[in-house]
């Protein structure tokens, strides 16, 4: 799965890497957690645009938006079939820029966090899907735009640490993922067969204490 990640590249690097056409707020963040608002990219009529969505997808048909806490990740193997994700896969795909992500490994009596990034240290994005939900929360009408990160079986760089990993897309793959006219077979091929080489390093076990 993917439950924590970081995004710390300079803003201009992100703009150039993903050909962004709009202005947006941005702060470097080193421990991004579910339910927070996260930077995402979608394709608009005038090009790629960045904005913020809440991490934890709430399907438009959901009765309770709290379902989003359970839908931070979507399995790439079934994303085109599951009721919670199917419509978003076909109609509302996004990119979630990242510098790397974390995973915890049980070592003795503790869980040790590790940080994963591309060996080339290039900007990348997770493959994502998003949804727009509207309904009543505590007696008030509310609209939420939410997203989920797609995951796949771990590759050789990751498998000793966890059996799942986020789907990582470089810029050219990201363009194909965002294109509304990309056929299903090509989308599934991107999800299942990309195989990025990852750089791994151990980080402080205090990571859980600092989320931002």
Catalytic hit among 2, 94, 147, 173: 2
- Segments in the chain forming alpha helices (H): 11-17, 86-91, 171-178, 184-193
**81 included as an active-site residue:** no
Catalytic hit among 94, 103, 147, 173: 103
Instruction: Give the Cα-Cα-Cα angle 8, 10, 16 (nearest 5 degrees).
Output: 120
| Maximum Cα–Cα distance across the chain | 53
**173 included as an active-site residue:** no
- Give me the active site residues, please: 2, 103
């Amino acid at each position: 799965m993917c439950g924590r990640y970081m995004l710390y590249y300079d803003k201009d690097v992100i703009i150039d890497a993903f050909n962004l056409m709009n202005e947006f707020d941005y702060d470097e963040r080193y421990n991004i957690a579910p339910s927070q608002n996260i930077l995402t990219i979608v394709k608009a009529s005038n090009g790629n645009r960045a904005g913020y969505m809440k991490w934890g997808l709430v399907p438009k048909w959901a009765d309770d938006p709290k379902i989003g806490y359970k839908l931070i990740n979507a399995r790439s193997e079934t994303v085109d079939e599951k009721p919670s994700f199917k419509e978003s896969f076909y109609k509302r795909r996004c990119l979630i820029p990242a510098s790397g992500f974390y995973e915890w490994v049980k070592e003795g009596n503790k869980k040790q966090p590790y940080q994963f990034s591309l060996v080339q240290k290039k900007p990348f994005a997770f493959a994502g899907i998003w949804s727009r939900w509207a309904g009543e929360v505590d007696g008030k009408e509310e609209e939420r735009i939410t997203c989920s990160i797609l995951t796949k079986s771990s590759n050789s760089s990751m498998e000793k640490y966890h059996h799942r990993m986020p789907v990582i897309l470089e810029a050219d793959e990201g363009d194909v993922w965002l294109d509304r006219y990309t056929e299903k077979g090509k989308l599934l091929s991107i999800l299942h067969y990309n195989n990025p080489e990852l750089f791994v390093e151990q980080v402080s076990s205090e990571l859980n204490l600092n989320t931002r």
